[in-house]
Structure 1
Amino acid sequence: MRNKIIGLLFLVMSVLLIVACSSKSNDDSKADDSSEGGETETGTETGGELKIAVSAQPPSLDAHISSSSASLDIGRMIFETLMTLNEDHQSVPMLAESIEESEDGKTYTFKLREGIKFHNGEEMIAEDVEASMNRWLENSPRALLLLDHANFEAKDKYVVELTLEKRVSDVLDIMAGQGQFAAIMPKEQIDTATPEGVSEIIGTGPFKYEDWRQDQYVHLVKFDDYQSRDEEPSGYAGRKEALVDDLYYYFVPDSSTRVAGLQTGEYDIAEQIPQDSYERLEEMDGVQTHVYYFGTLNMFYNKKEGIMSDPKMRQAVNIALNMDEIMLASYANENLFKVDHNYMNPDSVGWASDAGKDFYNQNDIEKAKELLAESGYNGEKVRLLTTRDYDDYYSAAVVVQEQLEQIGMNVDLEVFDLATLYDNRAEPDRWEMFFGGVGYNTSPSQLLAINPTYPGWTEDPRITELLAEMGASTSQEEAKQHWDELHEFLWAEYLPASILGHYTNIIAVSDKVENLTIFQATVPWNTRKAK
């Protein structure tokens, strides 16, 4: 109303404007009185604390050396990576501004975002990225296996170059992987790190490390100098805002205590909820349940020695299986699992495949008996290893034993604690099949089922050939074609493992928590708690 307007119209509009401004001022005053932390640029109220109950204390918060889910979930708030995953499970830049690939696919040049601050106030530059990524290459099992002889080198203050011995088409997917992830830390922390880890926990994320009280909690606080990307939030990518001042991760091993604390308001979020609590949680007032797919339940075959080294035996077993019965027995509620043949995440835009689905969940008893006869099976004992430490493993094993006995197999269920199961599966003369859950990977080359060093010992020239062709591909489309071909081969002929189905994790959340993202885990940035 700064323009000059004469007459009655001016007077009327002036009065209306004064009234409107007065009303808005009163509303803003009330909002300020109720807010402890102020507002973001978008007007979202901030402040307060968010308390998350988790099942275990992390062995370390050094992302380069720890693969535990507790380390990952907390570390993701503190550290960031050059590449990360969007909601379609595709690798996209985070700390990288742009990426250039050489024509031969052996060199990647990363232009870094400028002005990114570490939690110690120092700017992130290329020498920090070089040191961090080369340490990750030395410590990450998947990097050691898939990126042998790779090297990162600082070329300018904000430019880092990755050189590879050969083209690796999924190198950016590998870098965006979440287990023992490629966190960027200050160079001085990398230089002084010991085998036990870095001396200080310093990253570039929206929250910074404040305190760790052993057997109690890890406390993170809002990083005021955090520099967010501008893109819309998507998975772990895009815009991040710390909308609470304090973030606590409480270590609460007992699941019933986690749930009870959620009901009393002691915790705002309870993670790792057992499946048998799902229906009770669904009926609780003031609590929301979030279910997300996390990985595959697998039955691995011993291909190194014994009767399961014969592909016909593996095919006979797989054809006999009724996956619906197995998964329902393991997870009790159809909302908690998916019967699907994919070795990869079925929601992965780049890697989900229809190939091989005709060989999944056949439950064909007569055909299984025919293949068993063709293999020459003569009643030999088949040792099926499982554990009661994970109820789903044990329940699946009991059902599989029953189903295989229907086709005439002599199945011996051997039940161990988890540590002993791991010891036994490492020895090829001690088992024929074992059960295991495996979290999702960012690309097929990282799958344990086709890793020749993983128990089961997958060795086949066709698999090696197709993996090499995937790695040498010049586009995602070409790599996907080779993966479809390999996926078909794994189901139709080789069968390193039978994918029984896809399992979920359950998170329970107070209805006071707003805008929480669930993407393979709890993502508390962009999240606030109602007053």
Structure 2
Amino acid sequence: SGPFRFLRDEWNPGQRAVWARNDAYVPRQEPVDGLAGGRAPKTERIEWTIITDPATAANAMVTGEQDYWEYPLHDLLPLLRRSRDLVVQQRLTEGTYAICRFNHLHPPFDNVGVRRAVAMAVDQRDYMRAVAGNEKDGWETCEGVFTCGTALANEAGSEVLKVRSIERAKAALREAGYAGQKVVLVAPGDYPQINAISMVTADLLQRLGMNLELVSTDWGTLVQRRASKEPVERGGWSMIHTTSSGQTLTLPVFHLFLRTNGPNAWFGWPQDAEIERLRAAWLDAADAGEAKRIAEALNRRAMEVLPYIPLGFYWQPSAWRRNVTGVFRAPVTAFWNMGKA
């Protein structure tokens, strides 16, 4: 029903996906406006090619084999910018927020004390530099659960993320009764940004003296494995990382990582009745002041029970050939209104 049709017969999982223009689609007769406005399909086909090696992807952009790179590696941005045939710009309107997710069903992270000990060792700056390096204005810390710079953003109770001490975290780990249980951290080797933040956590856990098993796999396998509720001995997992647009973390009503409704929560399945109560209360807030007070209570409670650890956010530029026309800013990558000269 949208501007493009998915061509299932041309889909090769992990390698290629193709969409064709939907000739039956009638766009609004108005300018495109992010995800709204006139979504006119101006090209016959959209072909996604999955290139797992960033250097190969960069070369494909420079030589003209590919037209658009959604998430170029920050280390390769200088190379791309040197090409007169390429545009490198911040197309996404929101920062990309990174998180570390615990599996709350099994040891050791069914123990809130262990979760808090790990959080005490986290320094968001290490994670963001691992992704974006020292790129000017490339990243920021954000030590709360709501998108920084938005109405509900706050750091009430976020002191646990300001400790940034391996030694204090080790002491907290001992006090929590950590008994050497295996921690299976699954990292996607073919997803450079998420892999980079996963490696920071792997190093942190080793410095804490935790019994780490690092599983390097591809993103598709990680997505399948994270659905498993089995213990690690039967193919389960302990920790994963992911990223999300800042737009998805602005309000409790659609903040997936903040849901703590047990078996119905996002992967990791945290359960906390107080967060769920506060979320429902926010929906009934009488005014903006009450909504902000509830948001502060939500942040405070989230930092107590830690359904996940916020790791900061970075700005993710995109790259495209100069003959690609109609590129517009949006919270996610969309290809309507775009064509080739």
User: Structure 1 length normalisation: TM-score?
Assistant: 0.51
Q: Between 210-219 and 502-511, report the one with greater CA deviation.
A: 210-219
2:116 maps to which of 315, 320, 323: 315
From 267, 273, 282, the equivalent of 1:470 is: 282
Is the counterpart of residue 437 in structure 1 residue 243 in structure 2?
yes
| 2:255 matched residue in structure 1 | 447
- Give the one of 297, 302, 305 matched to 1:485: 297
**1:280 counterpart residue number:** 79
- 3-state SS, counterpart of residue 309 of structure 1: coil
Give how far 1:251 is off: 2.9
Partner of 1:474, secondary structure, is coil
Cα distance change, pair 356–263 in 1 and its aligned pair in 2 (3 A): same
Unmatched 5+ residue regions in structure 2?
Answer: 11-16
- SS in structure 2 at match of 1:415: strand
Q: Aligned partners of 2:135 and 2:267: how far apart in 1?
A: 30
Partner in structure 2 of residue 359 of structure 1: 160
Q: Distance in 1 between matches of 2:33 and 2:123?
A: 36
| Cα separation, partners in 2 of 1:470 and 1:515, compared to 1, 3 Å | same
* Per-residue CA distance 1:431-483 (angstroms, 9 max, x = gap): 33222233442632323323332222111121121011012223444333312
Question: 1:526/1:318 Cα in 2 relative to 1: closer, same or farther (>3 Å)?
Answer: same
8 Å Cα contact 1:382/1:410 also seen in 2? yes
| Residue 148 of structure 2 is aligned to residue 346 of structure 1 | yes
Residue 428 of structure 1 deviates from its aligned partner by: 4.5
CA distance in 1, matches of 2:210, 2:317: 36
- State, as a whole percentage, how many aligned pairs show the same letter: 24
Shift of 1:497: 0.8
Q: Distance in 2 between matches of 1:411 and 1:264?
A: 42
Q: Residue in 1 aligned with 2:105?
A: 304
Trace 1:411-422 onto structure 2 (pairs within 5 A): 411-422=212-223
Does the CA contact (< 8 Å) of 2:107 and 2:181 recur in 1?
A: no
Instruction: State the match for 1:372 in structure 2.
Output: 173
Count of matched residue positions in the alignment of Structure 1 and Structure 2: 318
- Give the letter for the 1:353 counterpart: N
The answer (yes or no) to whether the contact 1:449–1:496 under 8 Å persists in 2 is yes
**Offset at 1:327?**
2.7
Would the aligned equivalents of 2:74 and 2:131 in 1 still touch at CA under 8 Å? no
Task: Provide Cα deviations, 1:25-73, integer angstroms capped at 9, x if missing partner.
Answer: xxxxxxxxxxxxxxxxxxxxxxxxxxxxxxxxxxxxx6xxxxxxxxxxx
Instruction: Write the distance in 1 (CA, Å) between the matches of 2:57 and 2:209.
Output: 45
Match of residue 496, structure 1, among 287, 298, 307: 307
Residue 306 of structure 1, CA deviation:
1.4
Distance 2:27 2:39 in 1: 11
Assess if the C-alpha contact under 8 Å between 2:123 and 2:161 holds in 1: no
Alpha-carbon distance, 1:224 to partner: 7.8
Equivalent residue, structure 1, for 2:13: none
AA at the equivalent of 1:502: F
Q: CA deviation at 1:303?
A: 2.0
What aligned pairs does 1:8-407 form with structure 2 within 5 A after superposition? 75=2, 78=3, 214=10, 217-219=19-21, 226-228=28-30, 235-237=34-36, 240=38, 246=43, 248-254=45-51, 263=62, 269-291=68-90, 292=92, 293=94, 295-334=96-135, 336-347=138-149, 349-407=150-208
Q: How high is the TM-score relative to the length of structure 2? A: 0.76
The Cα of 1:520 is off from its aligned counterpart by 2.0
Partner letter of residue 488 of structure 1?
Answer: R
Deviation at 1:315, TM superposition (A): 1.0
Which segment drifts farther, 216-225 or 366-375? 216-225
- CA change 1:528–1:367 in 2 (3 A) is same
Aligned to 1:200: none
Q: Is 1:221–1:245's contact at 8 Å kept on the other side of the alignment?
A: no
Aligned-pair Cα RMSD in Å: 3.6
Conserved 8 A contact 1:220-1:248 = no
Per the TM alignment, residue 388 of structure 1 is displaced from its structure 2 partner at its CA by 1.6
Higher relative contact order (CA 8 A, sep 6+): 2
Distance 1:223 1:377 in 2: 57
Alpha-carbon offset, residue 278 of structure 1: 1.9
What secondary structure does 1:298 align onto? strand
The 1:329/1:362 distance shift into structure 2, 3 A limit, reads same
Q: 2:277 and 2:68 mapped to 1: Cα distance?
A: 46
Greater Cα radius of gyration, structure 1 or 2: 1
Q: Conserved in 1, the CA contact under 8 Å of 2:61 and 2:321?
A: yes
Q: Secondary structure at the match of 1:427?
A: coil
8 Å contact from structure 2 (residues 96, 316) kept in 1: no
- Does the aligned pair in 1 maintain the 2:6–2:18 contact within 8 Å? no
Quote how far apart the aligned CAs of 1:295 are: 3.4
Which letter does structure 1 place at the counterpart of 2:256?
L
1: distance between equivalents of 2:161 and 2:24? 48
Report the alpha carbon displacement of residue 225 of structure 1 after superposing the two structures with TM: 7.5
Q: Secondary structure at the match of 1:458?
A: coil
The aligned counterpart of 1:93 is none
* Aligned counterpart for 2:268 among listed residues 446, 453, 456: 456
Q: What code does the residue aligned with 1:482 have?
A: I
Aligned partners of 2:182 and 2:95: how far apart in 1? Answer: 33
